[in-house]
Structure 1
Amino acid sequence: MDPLNVKVQQKLKELESLQQIRDLTKHLNTSLEEFAGQIELLGEEAGCIETVTQNWMRIIRAVSLASNSLTNYREEDYETDRPMTERLVRCKIDESQKIITKN
């Protein structure tokens, strides 16, 4: 084999490698674009998840407040009649967590 053919073979191998890199880069780009779309969707849904979580925390806090009243009863109270939890009243509150009263 003459040096020119060796050089041509080397360049063909280099070209083949570069074409593989190009194809892999295209595939990586497509995958990253899909991933970016999924991340964007997760970001949008995160707000919904946050709202649901906050609502559940409020519900758990309300149940806890109501059930705390049961700790004030003695065993004798359970023998005469089954004690009930305290009733909860819903009140509007402002940003500083103070009850808004009607004037």
Structure 2
Amino acid sequence: MADSPASAPRFLAPAQVAELLSIDVDEVISLVMSGHLRGAKLGSPARWRVEETSIADYLAEQTEQARRMALWRQADEASFPEVWGPQGRGPQHP
């Protein structure tokens, strides 16, 4: 039995995606080409379309990367006293 239209993926034009993400259309196409967004050329003449659900996946991926970078920076900053010593003079040698 075929999927109903309600369960079929919804596709958006790159301009719509660009507006949602506040980026240029060229950046949307680049994200599709690099695999960060799922899309394909559809219709006649063929035009790029981006799968709507991939936008949420992309945003979740970007949020996770930002969280990891924040944790890395926090850990990096916390390690400075251990590296540079208590007064910032470098490691203390006996």
Which TM-score applies when normalising by structure 1? 0.39
* Greater strand fraction, Structure 1 or Structure 2: 2
Structure with max Cα Rg: 1
Give the structure, 1 or 2, with the largest relative contact order (CA under 8 Å, sep 6 or more). 2
Which TM-score applies when normalising by structure 2? 0.42
* Greater helix fraction, Structure 1 or Structure 2: 1
